[in-house]
Amino acid sequence: SPMIVSFGEMLIDFVPDVAGVSLAESYAFIKAPGGAPANVACAIAKLGGNAAFIGKVGDDEFGHMLANLLKKSGVNSDGICFDKDARTALAFVTLKADGQREFMFYRSPSADMLLKESELKLDLIKQAKIFHYGSISLISEPCKSAHMAAMKAAKQAGVLLSYDPNVRLPLWPCPEAARDGIKSIWDQADFVKVSDDEVEFLTKGDPKKDDVVMSLWNDNFKLLIVTDGPEGCRYFTKKFKGKVNGYKVKTIDTTGAGDAFVGAFLQAVAKDPNLFNDENKLKEALVFANACGAISTTQKGAIPSLPDKAQAEKLIKEAK
């Protein structure tokens, strides 16, 4: 089946063993594989799709553990590089009692930031149907240049570009730099997915309002999607817009819900790139993506909770 190449960071999240504490209060941490682009690749493979990951980790225990996990998950790992000197990135993450997420990163610099243009497996990218990326890889050099070169190669080869920016303020010098950085490659994408929080950050407007969302529209886009957590998602194209309701599930941990959603949606696009022009087909793909996002919240961790096709179809059927 058509290949989707996901580019960017793969790292270890350390998550407190109990919910609702600050990082300082936490007594013990659980090691959880993470990095949105790596999660997306795993989500696609779990659904039976053809996924590859490009990125860099340290030549250390954690880096090899992550690369092996991807391989075991069925993701093509030919594009993974190992840095001899720098360590695999670490992020300490907690969902505090007030619902706010607190991040602390160990990246000074970490291996993911050191991926060089010369290390890119361009053959992999040129063979793909879709090239997917986030915004963490734009924060510093040399990774930023590698990211730009990969996008350029994909575009020249006629590969669809998919962008899922993530705002991680502690990683940028200031909020303005984050906004500018995220927007700097905005017009390149065929498809952009943002969450309601990201719409608010980027526009400083009310993300529930469609005209606020549309201020993010670019005429090069084929599709803009806003995810609204448990409420599902909204879609915007040149010709139509609408909303697809989410699913009620017993949510335990929402980490990676957006990645499960994106993986499921990209797998549908890989099979039928004309999805963008047919509202009914698009809605069907978004129903499936919502189901995958919902299921991913019912267990701890981003990767262990990714659904297969049968699980998602079961939830859709039961909810009817």
Q: Is 246 in the site for ligand ATP (CB under 6 A)?
A: yes
3-class secondary structure, 29:
strand
3-class secondary structure, 66:
helix
Per the listing, tokens 């990135």 go with 89
Distance between CA 267 and CA 306 in Å, rounded?
Answer: 14
* CB of 86 or CB of 289, closer to ligand ATP: 289
Distance between CA 261 and CA 5 in Å, rounded?
Answer: 16
Interface residue with ligand ATP among 142, 229, 242, 273 (CB under 6 A) is: 229
Cβ-Cβ contacts under 8 Å for 265 (sequence gap 6 or more): 193, 225, 285, 286, 288, 289
Among the listed ranges 56-64, 129-137, 248-256, 305-313, the one in contact with ligand ATP (CB under 6 A) is 248-256
DSSP annotation of 151 reads H
Among the listed ranges 78-86, 123-131, 177-185, 251-259, the one in contact with ligand ATP (CB under 6 A) is 251-259
Interface residue with ligand ATP among 26, 188, 237, 254 (CB under 6 A) is: 254
Q: Is 88 in the site for ligand ATP (CB under 6 A)?
A: no
Distance between CA 303 and CA 253 in Å, rounded?
Answer: 12
Interface residue with ligand ATP among 66, 128, 259, 270 (CB under 6 A) is: 259
Among the listed ranges 56-64, 143-151, 152-160, 225-233, the one in contact with ligand ATP (CB under 6 A) is 225-233
Q: How far is the CB of 200 from ligand ATP (least distance, A)?
A: 12
* CB of 113 or CB of 244, closer to ligand ATP: 244
What spatial distance separates the first Cα and last Cα of the chain, rounded to whole Å? 30
* CB of 201 or CB of 247, closer to ligand ATP: 247
Cβ-Cβ contacts under 8 Å for 280 (sequence gap 6 or more): none
Among the listed ranges 26-34, 91-99, 183-191, 292-300, the one in contact with ligand ATP (CB under 6 A) is 292-300
Q: Which two tokens stand for residue 121?
A: 């497996």
Among the listed ranges 27-35, 75-83, 201-209, 243-251, the one in contact with ligand ATP (CB under 6 A) is 243-251
Q: Is 162 in the site for ligand ATP (CB under 6 A)?
A: no
Distance between CA 120 and CA 182 in Å, rounded?
Answer: 22
Q: Taking phi first (over 0 means left), then psi (-120 to 50 degrees means alpha), and beta for anything else, what does residue 167 get?
A: beta
Q: Is 91 in the site for ligand ATP (CB under 6 A)?
A: no
Query: Is cis: bond before 142, omega within 30 of 0?
Result: yes
Q: How far is the CB of 228 from ligand ATP (least distance, A)?
A: 6
* CB of 203 or CB of 227, closer to ligand ATP: 227
* CB of 117 or CB of 284, closer to ligand ATP: 284
Q: Is 203 in the site for ligand ATP (CB under 6 A)?
A: no
Q: How far is the CB of 207 from ligand ATP (least distance, A)?
A: 11
* CB of 110 or CB of 135, closer to ligand ATP: 135
b/e per residue 25-49 (b: at least 16 CB within 10 A): ebeebeebbbbbbbbbbbbbbbbeb
Closest to 128 measured CA to CA, from 42, 43, 13, 3: 3
Q: Is 230 in the site for ligand ATP (CB under 6 A)?
A: yes
Q: How far is the CB of 164 from ligand ATP (least distance, A)?
A: 7
Q: Is 135 in the site for ligand ATP (CB under 6 A)?
A: no
List, in sequence order, the alpha helices (H) in the chain. Answer: 36-46, 61-72, 122-127, 143-156, 175-183, 196-203, 210-214, 257-271, 279-296, 309-319
Residues that bind ligand ATP (CB under 6 A): 195, 227-230, 232-233, 246-247, 249, 251, 254-259, 261, 290, 293-294, 297
